[in-house]
Amino acid sequence: MHNLDTTTDGRPDAAEPPDEARHDDDPGRRELMALHAERTAIEQRLARAEQERLYLADPAAAAAAQAAEETLLADLDRVMTRIRAAEYRSQPGARTW
């Protein structure tokens, strides 16, 4: 992914403040960024649980990994629903429910 705020020599463009500085005062943006960070953490834990389920030799440990995987999938679904709602709310003219 390219940073459109950098010049061709890789240095940040002085005319534009960094993304963080432009959106620090927007609570909706902060909420969305926090949700994406939570999603990333869950996806990493989910990938590990999947690998454990697939490759652990101990059946009890593999069953525990499968249970963890199921819980993490439910958590991921919950976070993704919240992300979609936050993205919708950020659109101009979005209805409030």
Instruction: Establish if 64 belongs to a structural domain.
Output: yes
> pTM of the full predicted structure?
0.69
Examine residue 57 and state whether it is found in any structural domain, yes or no.
yes
Residue 93 lies in a domain: no
What own/partner pairs with CB < 8 Å and gap ≥ 24 does 30-34 have?
31/86, 32/83, 32/86, 32/87, 32/90
Residue 70 lies inside a defined structural domain of this protein = yes
Give the residue numbers spanning the domain of 62: 26-85
> Tell me: the pLDDT tens digits for 62-73?
999 999 999 999
Residue 74's pLDDT is 97
Predicted local confidence at residue 2, as pLDDT: 46
Give the chain's domain count.
1
- 3 within a domain of the structure (yes/no): no
Per the domain annotation, does 36 fall within a domain? yes
The residues of the chain scoring below 70 in pLDDT are: 1-24, 97
Look at residues 51, 47, 34 and name the one whose alpha carbon lies nearest to residue 73: 47
**Looking at the domain assignment, is residue 14 inside a domain?**
no
92 in a domain, yes or no? no
User: What distances in angstroms separate CA 91 from CA 38, 46, 86, one per listed residue?
Assistant: 22, 30, 9
